[in-house]
Chains A and B, each alone.
Chain A
Amino acid sequence: MKNFKEISARLEIAKKKIEKNITKDKSSNAASLGKALKIGTELVASVVVGTLLGFILDGWFDTRPWLTISFFFMGVGAGILNVIRSAKNMNKKKDMENN
């Protein structure tokens, strides 16, 4: 039984140490780097998908190049929307962590 008590005491100390470390480097963890890498592709992907969709629809309706052009701009809009949305999400999470 003595062994268990010793282990639980050591666990408590270790947990406290971990908590200290977490509060210290919350702002500079790898997760924020992941978020930064995420945003760039989000913008590009929407533009590519929009243009591709316009190109395919142009083929169906025989209206080349008008749908490609308009869907390109809508893709840009969707990309900006995506970026704003994920930035908003990050802010929301940050506020929740602070409160």
Chain B
Amino acid sequence: MSTNPMHQFEVYRIGPEISLGSVNLSFTNASLFMLISAATILLLLFLGTKKKLLVPTKIQLITEMSYSFVAKMINDTAGSKAKPFFPFIFTLFMFVLFCNMIGMLPYSFTVTSHIIVTFILAAIVFIGVTIIGFIQHGIKYLELFVPKGVPVLLLPLIVVIEIISYLSRPVSLSVRLFANMMAGHTMLKVFGGFVISLGLLGGWLPLGFSVALTGLEILVAFLQAYVFAILTCIYLNDALNLNH
């Protein structure tokens, strides 16, 4: 049995090796769990919208709740102009949420604990928001980097600082999700290892910690998906309504 707490993050190949030129495109356990999350979401939404009852069943209730939760979040943070982007933000929220939650199951793999996954998600948001900003405002979108009422002497410095602050968005977005998921799962594994090594006599305390941490991790899993989605809304708001 492996007691290395980082062992759970290992990516390995399932099935044959597929490569396209010099790029390795093999099917890994990460791809498997992404597919499982996507399939679970599709199944939930399919079952929830199959029979539209006046008094909803539990699955229909969950589906409707997640819909209205995301719709309210977009309306509150980005306004009614952001309504066309609902499908994207809903997909993003559900995917991150289900990746996090499925990662909480024993013997599963947490896709979002790898920075490349979260960084690609954040990069899609970042590039998309930048393109939307330029489509909406044209070259005037660059005014985002020039705050009003700054002395001309300070302007070069402020513009550089604003550009750094804009470029830091995808980094902070991806690192937050990745760091929270990885730290939490490592901690769970470390306390699990303590239970084994301390045995029947002293293992009860770390076991209690493990149980408490699992609860905390489920909260964090939801919260990080929420933060990811709400920050996407905030960035979208910046691009749609150009104001500081």
Contacts and interface: CB of A to CB of B under 8 A. Distances in A.
B168 A78 contact: yes
A26 B152 CA distance: 44
A14 interface: no
Contacts of A75: 164, 168
Interface stretch (B40-48, B100-108, B155-163): B155-163
Interface string A56-99: 00000000000000010011011101100100010000000000
Interface residues of B, number: 27
Interface residues of A, number: 26
Nearest to A54: B164
Contact of B172 (A30, A41, A71, A77): A41
B171 A49 contact: yes
Nearest to B77: A93
A82 B244 CA distance: 12
A9 interface: no
B160 A74 contact: yes
Contacts, number: 72
Contacts of B222: 30
B231 A78 contact: no
Interface in A25-54: 30-31, 33-34, 37-38, 41-42, 44-46, 48-50, 53
A1 interface: no
Contact of B231 (A38, A48, A77): A38
Contacts of A45: 168-169, 171-172, 175
Interface string A1-37: 0000001000000000000000000000011011001
Interface string B158-185: 0011101101110110011001100000
- Return the 9 tightest CB-CB contacts between A and B, nearest first: A45-B172, A78-B165, A46-B168, A78-B164, A45-B171, A49-B168, A41-B176, A45-B168, A50-B164
Interface of B: 54-55, 157, 160-162, 164-165, 167-169, 171-172, 175-176, 179-180, 219, 222-224, 226-227, 230-231, 234, 244
21 contacts: A30-B219, A34-B227, A34-B230, A37-B176, A37-B227, A41-B172, A41-B175, A42-B168, A42-B172, A44-B172, A46-B165, A46-B172, A50-B164, A71-B160, A75-B168, A78-B162, A78-B168, A79-B168, A81-B161, A82-B168, A82-B172
